[in-house]
Structure 1
């Protein structure tokens, strides 16, 4: 098989890129290790910045997003005594939309066949070849048959554990990583949210987050040590802990119900540079991971896809090699700013094991400053809603 762009990974980043390239008249194919049902079964966050919404609008795949997405004009920081509302709409003139990553993926998957985007699921032993050359290739096995795709470019949208980043020599790449000493224990339940906007809480017992997927489905989190096991956390124990950490006002509005899904997700900050080597481009989690504090993961992948689409379109339309060469620097400039915001919000809202009275006093002082400073709230708001691309 021969194509102009071979995309590895059929999560939202890979599918979004495939659709955008097809819309520009660029031939591409997407390959994915898992089955469609497995891909759709991955529960992820769903606070969308404007870049993500705009790309779906550009493709004309935003009908469900507009009908079902919850437009949010702000969010809240809780310090144990009060809710500090960050009025994103007032401070920036912009909003975010709550719409689950699973739903974005479903919209992109459903549109693939009608729009002629070829997606090959269930691939095994995916290997990249000759990425330094102008004729890279991918080999894989599908249903026991060895196959090969020859392309002009390969884009790795295959996540942190995929083969794409590993195809870049260690002598070329550089990794930056911070592994956090806790994870997020999440519960998903078909109950109305306790607040119409997200609440990030800093309590003496630890962090908590109240969020939602819809008016009738809620997602809550508490941070726990990495040694915790999910089987030790009954639904009742999670609801009790949330009621304490979120504070009395939120607790009074919590509706309890049986969990649909429970899990503990470790947190890390990670960046790999460069995001392009030869004819290989990286996008999304293959190049960077952010802690979920601030909801930047999916949106960073979308901004990568925006830059990659522009670079590849310029190359195939105008033979613009500089656009390809500039991709990594453009993408990384936004990546690092989003990493900074996610890291700073994580530090502000979590209790780290080594923190003592001084660190706790600094958190209290910072939250009090934010509560009383329009400038501080504006800075948080413009980062939360998404920096310009």
Structure 2
């Protein structure tokens, strides 16, 4: 049987139609389990297959276990972003997890939160948040909140009903996306003003996805990026249409690099995607396309470093995800501190004789 009907249970213990019929069926048990095990962090779930002729929504479920004092500032409804990477094209969509205004922060004159942890859980619709229904095929979905990242799940957006054959599904998806249409390189060449670095050695086995930040001048940083990753046919320029980079090097391909930047308060200050030119000839091995290169650019070509104290910068291309921390103000520390532990009071009065 070649029918598409994935019934694999996800992180929330759901499968198939349960994602639509009763998505929060297991939330209390799951939250209690993670609280009792001190499993802090973000968890995301969603249906592995969404049949567009059967459903008009794409549910995404999010659970977070966090210290109570941190939840005042960082929560699913304030600083958390949902990221969807379309693996058929490399396009990245980043949206606030909850599209509505967050609840107001509490009065800081109130007593601080008590020690301990809490679990918060929400159910949102990715069709409403990010229009994921237009990205047919495979999508990698996860959550980001400053330096935190959730698990990563796969969602297939299927142009048909449950039971469509996998072959028919792939024929539709490939006809739409499997063409050589690389992401434009003009943004990275003109805005980032990238400089070319020595690439890693050719390798058809080991992925390289490395970033660094080097201080340059009094207030700027130079971001360096080295990569050796698997690409897809869509990233390749047709031989007759290969452009030149800003140093007149032939560009064989373009990798779609998404950058998501959070400031020290986990506010999202940048969500942008660039086509990074690949000036090394692609390596084809066992039908896999390997792309390698090295570039650098100044942080100030993206943002004004003087406006921030600390940055959490995420670099995303397909399944390659890396975070770079940049300390702009020396000695900066998160101003959220845990409340003091409660000290038991002892009665020191002498008992009456």
Question: Where on the TM-score scale, by shorter chain, does this alignment land: which range?
Answer: under 0.3
Higher strand fraction (1 or 2): 2
| TM-score when normalising by structure 2 | 0.24
| TM-score when normalising by structure 1 | 0.22
Greater relative CO, 1 or 2 (CA 8 Å, sep 6+) = 1
Asked which structure has the greater CA Rg, the reply is 2
